[in-house]
Structure 1
Amino acid sequence: MQTVSDVQSRLLALVKSILDQNAIAADLKPATLLVDVGLTSMDMVNLMLAVEAEFDFTIPQSEITPENFQSVETLTRLVVGQLASATAA
């Protein structure tokens, strides 16, 4: 079972790798708004795919919302919720 801090660390690493690819140096914290550090809509798509690959699940269409992709914090809630529902199924 993934802990929230595990999930958050992995998500921070994913976002940092996208920032690195774009040569963006940002002070990334869980609550930092991803658009504020320079993630574009294309980066968000790449992030979504990276999250799905990292955690081995498909994000339901209904969960692919700007609210869920605002920050690592909101993404953590999304992933933890998805992992919990997958475990419960």
Structure 2
Amino acid sequence: MQAFETDVQNRIIKLVQGILAQNSLSADVTSAARLVDIGLTSMDMVNLMLGVEAEFDFTIPQAEITPENFQSVESLLRMVVSQLQPVKAA
């Protein structure tokens, strides 16, 4: 994993931990852990989406707001990195 991706992953984990802390929950937030399994509710997912947008200063395109992209830190990482990296010419 590149340093850029590690930084993005660490920032996403901090966001998830912050939301859990607001709910008086704590969990071992790993990149593969399913977010619903560690305690995030649907409202928490909305807060996480807004937190990701604020943290990385971009708007998540409607097409990317899918349950698949919000399953785990790993799936969020892939989506965020794909949004932040310049489009590569084919």
Structure 2: tracts of 5 or more residues without a match: none
SS at match of 1:3: helix
Deviation at 1:85, TM superposition (A): 3.5
Deviation at 1:25, TM superposition (A): 1.4
Structure 1 residue 26 corresponds to structure 2 residue 27: yes
Deviation at 1:55, TM superposition (A): 0.2
Per the alignment, residue 61 of structure 2 pairs with: 60
Deviation at 1:87, TM superposition (A): 9.2
TM-score normalized by the length of structure 2: 0.91
Which of structure 1's runs of 4+ aligned residues deviate more than 4 A?
none
Output the aligned Cα RMSD: 1.7
TM-score normalized by the length of structure 1: 0.92
Match of 2:6, as an amino acid?
Answer: S
Match of 1:51, as an amino acid?
Answer: V
Instruction: Give the stretch that moved more between structures: 79-88 or 17-26.
Output: 79-88
Give the fraction of aligned pairs with identical amino acids, expressed as a percent. 66
Match of 1:9, as an amino acid?
Answer: N
1:54-88 per-residue CA deviation (whole Å, 9 max, x = no partner) reads 00000000000000000000000000000014798
